């Protein structure tokens, strides 16, 4: 089984990963002569990393001279680097619902903390799961808890790094989250999910 794993420090630059993932999904799912060729190929593993409030002008991949981001720089070198990205919202909750549903806040409606994603909304995790992916998410941000509907379509939705009663990122570090992700991935073998 191929894995889709979303890792969130509150769920990459908003829209960046979604654009890359949507391109690969649409190529795979869209009918056409390429479909048979793609069926024979192993679909890629997908890793979506979102870091809330990360400044691109302080990343080497975007020209910053200090070595502040060697892993992100390596990922950008190996993959696709988007130079212009615009968030759908100024804050975490609606922006991440938009990221995972490809719908603007005006359509999904999750714009206040007492609202959640409708069950009939289609999420990226649901699309990937329908394509044969195993889906897992590991989050640490208070506005990414499953109570807002984010768990839709995920086989595993781990929010244990979210501090209860704290609406900030105080005490949450990426090593805590990375440890959880590696714990999940350890021992997993890849196999071809196509029929």
Q: Choose the weakest-confidence range: 14-23, 53-62, 73-82, 102-111.
A: 14-23
- Whole-model pTM above 0.75? no
Where do we find the tokens 């990414």?
144
What DSSP designation does 156 have? E
Burial of 90 (0-12, 13-18, 19+ CB in 10 A): exposed
pLDDT at 7 over 70: no
pLDDT, residue 114, reads 95
Instruction: Please compute the mean of the pLDDT values over residues 133-141 and round it to a whole number.
Output: 89
Instruction: Round the average pLDDT of the chain to a whole number and report it.
Output: 76
Instruction: Please compute the mean of the pLDDT values over residues 148-167 and round it to a whole number.
Output: 86
pLDDT tens figures, 103-136: 999 999 999 999 999 999 999 999 998 888 889 9
Residues 6+ positions from 136 with CB-CB distance below 8 Å: 3, 4, 5, 6, 154, 155, 156, 157, 158, 184
- Rg (Cα) of the chain, in Å, rounded? 17
Residue among 167, 156, 191 nearest 7 (CA): 156
Where do we find the tokens 């390596």?
74
pLDDT tens figures, 22-45: 333 433 444 555 555 555 666 777
Where do we find the tokens 């990343």?
59
Structure tokens at 127: 């699309």
Percentage with pLDDT > 70 across the chain: 69
Mapping DSSP to helix (H, G, I), strand (E, B) and coil, where does residue 8 land?
A: strand
Q: Which long-range contacts (CB under 8 A, 24 or more apart) does 154-163 make?
A: 154/6, 154/125, 154/129, 155/129, 156/184, 158/184
Residue among 24, 82, 110, 94 nearest 52 (CA): 94
Alpha carbon distances (Å) from 85 to 42, 57, 142? 29, 13, 24
Give the highest mean pLDDT range of 66-70, 160-164, 171-175. 66-70
pLDDT, residue 106, reads 94
pLDDT at 15 over 50: no
């Amino acid at each position: 089984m191929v894995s889709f794993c979303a890792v969130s420090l509150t769920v990459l630059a908003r829209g960046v990963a979604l654009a890359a993932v949507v391109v690969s999904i649409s190529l795979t799912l869209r009918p056409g002569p390429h479909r048979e060729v793609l069926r024979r190929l192993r679909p890629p593993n997908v890793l979506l990393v979102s870091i809330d409030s990360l400044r691109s002008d302080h990343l080497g991949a975007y020209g910053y001279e200090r070595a502040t981001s060697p892993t992100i720089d390596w990922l950008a070198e190996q993959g696709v680097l988007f130079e212009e990205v615009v968030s759908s919202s100024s804050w975490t909750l609606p922006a991440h619902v938009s990221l995972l549903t490809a719908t603007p806040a005006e359509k999904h409606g999750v714009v206040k903390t007492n609202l959640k994603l409708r069950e009939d909304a289609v999420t990226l995790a649901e699309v990937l799961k329908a394509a044969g992916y195993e889906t897992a998410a590991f989050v640490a941000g208070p506005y990414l808890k499953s109570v807002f509907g984010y768990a839709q379509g995920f086989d595993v939705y781990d929010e244990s790094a979210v501090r209860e009663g704290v609406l900030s990122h105080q005490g949450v570090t990426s090593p805590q989250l990375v440890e959880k992700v590696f714990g999940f991935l350890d021992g997993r073998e890849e196999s071809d999910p196509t029929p």
